Amino acid sequence: MNTPIIDITDLSKTYGKSRGIDHVNLKINEGEVFGFIGPNGAGKSTTIRILLNLIFPTGGSARIMGMDVIRETKKIKQLIGYIPSDANAYPAMDVQEFLSYCMRFYNVQNGLNRIAELAELFELDTKRKIDDLSMGNRKKVSIIQSLIHSPKLLILDEPTMGLDPLMQAKFFELLRLENQKGMTIFFSSHILNEVQMLCKRVAIIKEGKIINVEDIETLRKKQLKKVFIEFEDHRNKESLNLDGIESIISREDAELSFMYSGMINELVGSLAERKIANLTIEEPTLEEIFMHYYN
Amino acid sequence: MNKNLFLNEMRRNLTSLILWTTVITVLIVITMSAYRTFFENQSKVMGMMSLVPKSALQFKGISNFKDLLSVLGFYSVNNVIYMMVLGSIFSIVLSSNILLKEEYNKTAEYLLTRPITRSEIFFSKISVVAIHIFLLNMVTALAGFICMEVVKNEPFSIKAFLIISLFTFLLNLLFGAIGLFISTLVKRAKPITTFSIGMVLFFYFIHTISKISVSFSKIGYLSPFKYVNTEVLKTNYGLDFGNLLYFVCFTLILTGISYRIYTRKDIYL
């Protein structure tokens, strides 16, 4: 069996008395495009910062390509690229100067060609001062610096913040191409659509704990259905009590909407005794599944 | 040490080095250009100075007014202060910001995700601090030496000049180490700059207070300025190994502690 490219075991981080992450376990295989989703403050950035050795864990361990993230951080960083959420490069440098500076940390052949190629793709003027760049252009610089050395693993923390939809599409296309060439992608975001578009597998983190790791498709196809019922008489909805009802989405007058994980036959059987005006059973969106896990 | 980071840091801090070196050099040149006039009008000036309270002269570092008539004494009293106080402010501001600015400017995420260890970052950056302090001291001391050669009336002790220059450099290095140490303990750069400058001025103040008041004489030992002997005209003036040890030990200890903290600290942005 292949060694996972990222192997996190019981990883914990506390900040004094407050929680960072709590016994996180995660294995990501080589070649995967893996999504890491959760709202702000759930522990995504804390996990990433431990992987990058920016902060130290208070418990557990993490390995990248079989190497310990603390002891072998230099070797690891030869092989990984990182796009931070908050892109801030040295303001006094121009783009070319900054990217060349980043490039010189690696032993790369044709690094300048790679910079020129990526700058052209993202329509970035490399002669401009970083201080004069818009948020979107700074993000482009951030993307380019992470790819100069063709890393084996790319870690992205909210990477599309500030990018316009056209550039986002180009960026995603580039990620798909790099993935086809063998690059593993660890994609952290709270924007589910992005994760859905790109990732095959996803981990959901809530309050510092991983609550689910699933294939995106499995997650979608899981028994979970979104049910909408319009009763003829609102009193009918009060007595509806089924084991499969996971969470109520809305309850207004004679309408009831909920997530349902039970047998459809049981639901229909139970409804047969009631007067209903309308019934809709549909696949929930990823957003709704996500909210279900969070509620 | 990482060559790429080292060269980049040298470049980034060059403007500040040039600016500080120019200011201190200009002050030295201006002051030394007044020596000839001072010497030629010594009887008038001495008459005026006799009216100045002794404590005010001690505050300025003048133990014997006649010392000012020697070019080295004049240089020591007037210019070493620039090099000691301004040089130390330059050193502490440079060192307290060199690591911290990566966090403050949110560039640490770029730097620390390169194939470079924290040790390499630390040593690349402190090498820049040491070299910049050395260059500042070299240029300003050289400017002082040339000025003395130009305006002197009689030969002066080059040995005494070299010793005072060495201790000024060591004082600046110690403040560099203090700045580095403080920066590993705090998170925000802007207050640290003000705090660092205040610290140099505070130590200079308690040093001068200790010289003019017997009741405050003990407090002077807390100040690094105390360990630079500026009485260059004394016959027994030489290399004080006790003071040398003080500077070397404190600089190394503070740098060592800073290294230990920096390589183990969480970097927040």
Choose one of A215, A241, A265: the last residue of a domain: A215
pLDDT band at B248 (very low <50, low <70, confident <90, very high): very high
Collect all residues of chain B within an 8 Å Cβ-Cβ radius of residue A53: 112
Collect all residues of chain B within an 8 Å Cβ-Cβ radius of residue A80: 113
Q: For tokens 């003829």, name the residue.
A: A232
A105, B266: Cβ pair inside 8 Å?
no
What residues pair up with A27 in beta bridges, in sequence order?
A7
Mean pLDDT across B236-264: 94
Q: Are residues A111 and A61 in the same domain?
A: yes
**Segment B124-172, tens digit of pLDDT:** 999 999 999 999 999 999 999 999 999 888 888 999 999 999 999 999 9
B115, A106: Cβ pair inside 8 Å?
yes
Residue A202 lies in a domain: yes
Shortest Cα distance from B137 to chain A (angstroms)?
A: 27
3-state secondary structure A240-288: CCCCCEEEEEEEECCEEEEEECCCHHHHHHHHHCCCEEEEEEECCCHHH
CA-nearest residue to B111 within chain A is A102
Q: Are residues A168 and A240 in the same domain?
A: no
Q: Are residues A53 and A136 in the same domain?
A: yes
Q: For tokens 């002082």, name the residue.
A: B144
B117, A89: Cβ pair inside 8 Å?
no
Burial of A133 (0-12, 13-18, 19+ CB in 10 A): buried
Q: Are residues A98 and A28 in the same domain?
A: yes
B109, A86: Cβ pair inside 8 Å?
yes
Return the pLDDT at B168: 95
Tally Cβ neighbours within 10 Å of residue B206: 18
Interface test with B, best of A88, A107, A135, A148 (most B CBs within 10 A): A88
pLDDT band at A295 (very low <50, low <70, confident <90, very high): low
Shortest Cα distance from A177 to chain B (angstroms)?
A: 23
Q: Are residues A163 and A119 in the same domain?
A: yes
Across the interface, of B106, B113, B267, the residue whose CB is closest to A55 is B267
Across the interface, of B2, B107, B113, the residue whose CB is closest to A77 is B113
Collect all residues of chain B within an 8 Å Cβ-Cβ radius of residue A86: 106, 109, 269
Choose one of A197, A215, A233: the last residue of a domain: A215
- Chain pair A-B, CB pairs under 8 angstroms: 59
Q: Are residues A190 and A237 in the same domain?
A: no
d(CA B2, CA B260): 19
What residues pair up with A206 in beta bridges, in sequence order?
A209
CATH number for A275: 3.30.70
Q: Looking at this predicted complex, what is its ipTM?
A: 0.83
Q: Are residues A287 and A174 in the same domain?
A: no
Return the pLDDT at A25: 95
**Segment B106-134, tens digit of pLDDT:** 888 899 999 999 999 999 999 999 999 99
Domain positions in chain B: 3-264
What residues pair up with A83 in beta bridges, in sequence order?
A156
Q: Is B108:B269 a contact under the CB 8 Å cutoff?
A: yes
B109, A82: Cβ pair inside 8 Å?
yes
CA-nearest residue to B105 within chain A is A88
**Segment A98-108, tens digit of pLDDT:** 999 999 999 88
Shortest Cα distance from A196 to chain B (angstroms)?
A: 27
**Segment A128-162, tens digit of pLDDT:** 999 999 989 999 999 999 999 999 999 999 888 88
Q: Are residues A29 and A77 in the same domain?
A: yes
Report helix angle A111-121 to A95-103, nearest 10.
140
3-state secondary structure of A37: strand
First to last CA, chain A: 37
Domain that holds residue A236: 222-294
List strands edge to edge, sheet with A67-68: A18-28, A6-15, A59-64, A67-68
d(CA B190, CA B198): 13
d(CA B239, CA B254): 23
Residues 6+ apart with CB under 8 A from B109: A52, A54, A82, A84, A86, A88, B269
Q: Are residues A231 and A209 in the same domain?
A: no
Q: How far is CA B267 from CA B186, B188, B227, in A?
A: 11, 12, 36
Q: Are residues A238 and A159 in the same domain?
A: no
Tally Cβ neighbours within 10 Å of residue A284: 20
- Return the higher-pLDDT residue of A49 and A218: A49
Structural domain tally of chain A? 2
Across the interface, of B4, B107, B268, the residue whose CB is closest to A90 is B107
